[in-house]
């Protein structure tokens, strides 16, 4: 049995790793909230347009502020910024049913397999290029996922086949704002009919504004991805160090060096 002082030293080392994982989790929550708030400000509440209309500072850099108009037009959705169009969702993006991939035919590989509930293992082939966006079609509705690399969307999901008047990050936050539950076409198993969703009226900002949002949002999404990767690496390191510290296979000082290198 290790001494109490040794146990405390080991706990401190492992606790440092847990603290970093928790910090990454909270950081990602903050980053997600920032991106959603920016999307809502620009494309839902039209705050930069209202600020310009009222003669207030938009709070945005000049190169971004100048992309927004200073007045509104009437539309079937109410007031929309002057020059912005209103179309259907499939004018903005096209959703497609995912592909069959029975468990017996899967081979672990480099490409993420994405189901209605999110990532579900890997495969050695892909069917969609990344970055991409998926949402649940059957079983789980309402969750939306951004996929950085090439991937295989399962048949329980819908994936964005075409970004007609959008970009991946923009589409990701746009779809998050939709209530897919109201389109449930199933009974015991929730099911989403893409043709119903495609008919939704949608505000269509100019691409020059979407592209600027994309530039900002992609940086946020990449930062989140990096934090998630680091947390998984740290969790593996923690689980590896624990039995070795308890058995004495590795000394506390050596473990401290390993942890310092990882952080």
Give the count of alpha carbons within 13 A of 4, CB side only. 0
Cβ atoms of 137 and 97 within 8 Å: the answer is yes
Q: Which of 159, 189, 204 is the last residue of a domain?
A: 204
Model confidence at 219, pLDDT cuts 50, 70, 90, reads very high
Segments of the chain assigned E as strands: 72-75, 78-81, 85-88, 94-97, 111-115, 118-123, 132-136, 144-147, 151-153, 157-162, 201-204
DSSP 154-169: BTTEEEEEE-TT--HH
Q: Which of 187, 204, 221 is the last residue of a domain?
A: 204
Cβ atoms of 36 and 242 within 8 Å: the answer is no
Total structural domains within the chain: 2
Residue 200 belongs to domain with CATH number: 3.90.220.20
Helix (H) or strand (E) holding 21: helix 4-43
Express each pLDDT in 58-117 by its tens digit: 999 999 999 999 999 999 999 999 999 999 999 999 999 999 999 899 999 999 999 999
Q: Which of 204, 231, 249 is the last residue of a domain?
A: 204
Cβ atoms of 252 and 14 within 8 Å: the answer is no
Residue 77 belongs to domain with CATH number: 1.10.287.1120
Cβ atoms of 57 and 51 within 8 Å: the answer is yes
Cβ contacts of residue 55 below 8 Å, gap of 6+? none
What's the token pair of residue 45? 């509440």
Instruction: Identify the CA nearest to 157 among candidates 182, 189, 133.
Output: 133
Instruction: Identify the CA nearest to 205 among candidates 37, 59, 45.
Output: 45
Taking the C-alpha atoms of residue 6 and residue 39, their distance in angstroms, rounded to an integer, is 50
Model confidence at 1, pLDDT cuts 50, 70, 90, reads low
Please indicate whether residue 5 or residue 171 has the higher confidence score (pLDDT).
Answer: 171
Residues 100 and 165 in one domain: yes
Residues 95 and 198 in one domain: yes
Residues 65 and 173 in one domain: no
Residues 49 and 79 in one domain: yes
Residue 185 confidence (pLDDT): 66
Residues 28 and 80 in one domain: yes
Express each pLDDT in 225-258 by its tens digit: 999 999 999 999 888 888 887 777 777 777 777 7
What's the token pair of residue 149? 């690399």
Residues 173 and 247 in one domain: no
Taking the C-alpha atoms of residue 164 and residue 200, their distance in angstroms, rounded to an integer, is 15
């Amino acid at each position: 049995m290790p001494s109490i002082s040794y146990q405390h030293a080991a706990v401190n080392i492992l606790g440092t790793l847990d603290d970093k994982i928790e910090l990454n989790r909270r950081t990602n929550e903050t980053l997600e909230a920032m991106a959603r708030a920016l999307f809502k400000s620009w494309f839902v509440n039209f705050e930069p347009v209202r600020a310009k209309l009222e003669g207030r500072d938009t709070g945005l850099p000049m190169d971004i502020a100048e992309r927004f108009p200073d007045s509104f037009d009437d539309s079937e959705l109410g007031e929309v910024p002057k020059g912005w169009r209103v179309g259907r969702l499939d004018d903005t993006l096209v959703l497609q049913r995912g592909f069959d991939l029975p468990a017996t035919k899967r081979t672990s590989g480099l490409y993420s397999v994405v189901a209605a509930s999110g990532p579900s293992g890997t495969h050695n082939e892909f069917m969609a290029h990344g970055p991409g966006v998926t949402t649940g079609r059957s079983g789980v509705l309402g969750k939306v996922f951004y996929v950085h690399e090439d991937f295989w969307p399962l048949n329980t999901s819908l994936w964005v086949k075409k970004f007609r008047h959008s970009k991946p990050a923009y589409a990701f936050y746009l779809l998050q704002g939709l209530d897919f539950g109201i389109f449930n076409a199933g009974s015991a198993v929730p099911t989403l009919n893409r043709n119903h969703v495609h008919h939704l009226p949608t505000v269509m900002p100019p691409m020059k504004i979407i592209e600027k949002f994309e530039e900002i949002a992609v940086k946020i999404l990449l930062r989140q991805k990096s934090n998630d990767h680091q947390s998984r690496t740290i969790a593996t390191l923690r689980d590896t160090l624990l039995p070795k510290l308890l058995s004495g296979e590795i000394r506390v000082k050596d473990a401290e060096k390993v942890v310092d290198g990882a952080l």
